[in-house]
Structure 1
Amino acid sequence: MSHTAHIPSHRKPRRSAPKTALRAGVAGGVLSTIAVAGAAGPAQAEPVTRTIEMPTLTDGLSTAVAASAQATEQVAQDLRTQAQEEAAAASAAKAAKKAKAEAVRKAEAKKKAEAEARKKAEAEAALRASRTQARTTLSATTSGSPASTTVATTSSSSSSSAPSSASQSSSATGSAASVISFVKAQVGDAYVSGGTGPNSWDCSGLVQAAFRSVGVDLPRVSQAQSTAGTQVSLSNLQPGDILYWGGAGSAYHVAVYVGGGQFVGAQNSSTGVVQRSLSYDPPSGAVRVL
């Protein structure tokens, strides 16, 4: 026995041949089977028909579309509502502006009317005061004079004796008669400040028109008419003379003496054109144009 026979070998023991052959045979058989199956597969396989049910997306998509449409409609409705509100606001603002303008116009018209009424009332009050003062002055300056006595006597006789008035009026001839006929024809017409006819007059407008009818062109206002002719005494009046109230050159009222102690004049807005006795409103003086 050698010395090396008892030394263990570090090499792995070889597998036995039968096991190796068996494993090789099994592996070879499997591969052969696969190869055969692969070769025979395309020729022997039959087509297989299978219905695959895909998941349905219609319901979810419909819901999403409906939600989107609803949201779009809501936005459109909101826009329409906003437009309507803006239109209503604009209309209301326009109406308010128009109403305010109308209210301002009415207020201004009312204010103007009140101012005119107040001015008219003040003018009439001033006219009455001036006439009262003129009468007082005339009474004081002519107290006891023949002129005052004559005027009073004439007035008294004219109011108590119609035939005397008629005879004095009928004594007017020519242009004076035409002037008297003109002013008497206007009795009953309205008094309007600045009026020159044909149906409404102020005092100087009536006198001017009466004398214009006979070709005499008088100034337009009372102040100028009171100095347009020759100053005559109230005791020596003739039909056709111009009577004035106030001072010569500063008269505030005029009329036409028609005889019989009476005059015709456009007095005021309350009476219009009237025929009155001199005692109704004694004049301050007179001028003779004809």
Structure 2
Amino acid sequence: MSHTAHIPSHRKPRRNASKTALRAGVAGGVLSTIAVAAAAGPAQAEPVTQTIEMPTLTSGLSTAVAASAEATQQVALDLETQAHEDAAATTAAKAAKTAKAEAVRKAEAKKKAEAAAEAKAKAEAALRASRSEARTTLSATSGSTSVASSSSSATGSAASVISFVKAQVGDAYVSGGTGPNSWDCSGLVQAAFRSVGVDLPRVSQAQSTAGTQVSLSNLQPGDILYWGGAGSAYHVGVYVGGGQFVGAQNPSTGVVLRSLDYDPPSGAVRVL
């Protein structure tokens, strides 16, 4: 036996070729796996572990919402303003219509007032002319028998009527009065003729057309005198002869005996 047979060799033992290939394959596989894992691992892990923040999206959404709210508010304000404008226009139109109607009414009222004033002026002028004519007629006939006749010449019912009205001279004048101690003009005339059985209408207008119209130049005692137009008279009295009449004139004078010249009548009507 060699003297070196028991001395350990400093050489590494030879490896089996198949084992070496296997190990190399395993090592290569492991390295390949590590390499693939290293290459593929981050790409797969990143979407799982990374937190995505969207500050820009949130900020934009807030801005859009704010803008939408502002636009909505502006639309509401515009609608409210339009509603106020429409209401104001409607109110103005109504006011204009009312003002126009009032102006038309005032114009019509003014026109009617002017027409009434003109008619009144004409009536007053006609009345003055009638009174002037009556004064002239009475003056011209003052000495005639027809006008100068006195109550003493009256007979029958006319004399009774004259006596009745003369008996009331001094009584009070009261509107609507029919006696026995206060009268208005037509109430006195009605009562005087009723005393002889003649029933006359109650008011002056109707009494002025109750009999036959006679001229003021042909008066007889007992004729009814009227002031104003026939059918529209505003005052009546009784002619008592001698150019005089008795009538319930007004509250300040009461029932009086006056000359025709004191207040010339417009006309006369004969009932008896």
Q: Same fold (TM over 0.5)?
A: yes
What is the letter of the counterpart of residue 261 of structure 2? S
What is the letter of the counterpart of residue 224 of structure 1? T
**Per-residue CA distance 1:76-116 (angstroms, 9 max, x = gap):** 10011000110011011112211221222222223212221
Task: Give the match for residue 20 of structure 1.
Answer: none
Equivalent residues of 2:210, 2:271 under 8 A apart:
no
Task: Give the match for residue 247 of structure 2.
Answer: 264
Task: Give the match for residue 117 of structure 1.
Answer: 117
Distance 1:54 1:251 in 2: 108
Deviation at residue 131 of structure 1 after TM alignment: 2.1
**Per-residue CA distance 1:113-157 (angstroms, 9 max, x = gap):** 2221221121011011022123324444x2643445x37xx8xxx
**Per-residue CA distance 1:175-219 (angstroms, 9 max, x = gap):** 656566789767375xxxxxxx569xxxxx944773268263336
Aligned ranges 1:202-221 → 2 under 5 Å: 206-207=185-186, 210-211=189-190, 214=194, 216-218=198-200, 220-221=205-206
Aligned residues: 220
Deviation at residue 33 of structure 1 after TM alignment: 5.8
Deviation at residue 243 of structure 1 after TM alignment: 2.7
For 2:53, what is the secondary structure of its paired residue?
coil
Which deviates the most, 112-121 or 207-216?
A: 207-216
Equivalent residues of 2:239, 2:246 under 8 A apart:
yes
Distance 1:40 1:181 in 2: 154
From 187, 202, 213, the counterpart of 2:173: 187
Distance 2:104 2:253 in 1: 35
Aligned ranges 1:169-180 → 2 under 5 Å: none
Distance 1:30 1:251, change over 3 A: closer
The answer to whether 1:128 aligns with 2:110 is no
Distance 2:80 2:253 in 1: 67
Equivalent residues of 2:185, 2:249 under 8 A apart:
yes
Distance 1:178 1:138, change over 3 A: closer
For 2:49, what is the secondary structure of its paired residue?
coil
What is the letter of the counterpart of residue 132 of structure 2? T
Distance 1:257 1:75 in 2: 92
Aligned ranges 1:38-53 → 2 under 5 Å: 50-53=49-52
For 1:225, what is the secondary structure of its paired residue?
coil
What is the letter of the counterpart of residue 50 of structure 2? T
The normalised TM-score by structure 2 is 0.57
Q: Structure 1: give runs of 5+ residues left out of the alignment.
A: 1-27, 155-164, 166-171, 190-196, 200-204
Distance 1:244 1:83, change over 3 A: closer
Distance 1:114 1:77, change over 3 A: same
Distance 1:62 1:286, change over 3 A: closer
Aligned ranges 1:249-288 → 2 under 5 Å: 254-257=236-239, 261-264=244-247, 275=256, 276-282=258-264
For 1:217, what is the secondary structure of its paired residue?
coil
Distance 1:83 1:183 in 2: 79
The answer to whether 1:227 aligns with 2:209 is no
What is the letter of the counterpart of residue 127 of structure 1? L
Equivalent residues of 1:241, 1:288 under 8 A apart:
yes
The normalised TM-score by structure 1 is 0.54
**Per-residue CA distance 1:257-282 (angstroms, 9 max, x = gap):** 36883332669xxx998744222134
Deviation at residue 256 of structure 1 after TM alignment: 2.0
Q: Structure 2: give runs of 5+ residues left out of the alignment.
A: 1-24, 152-157, 179-183
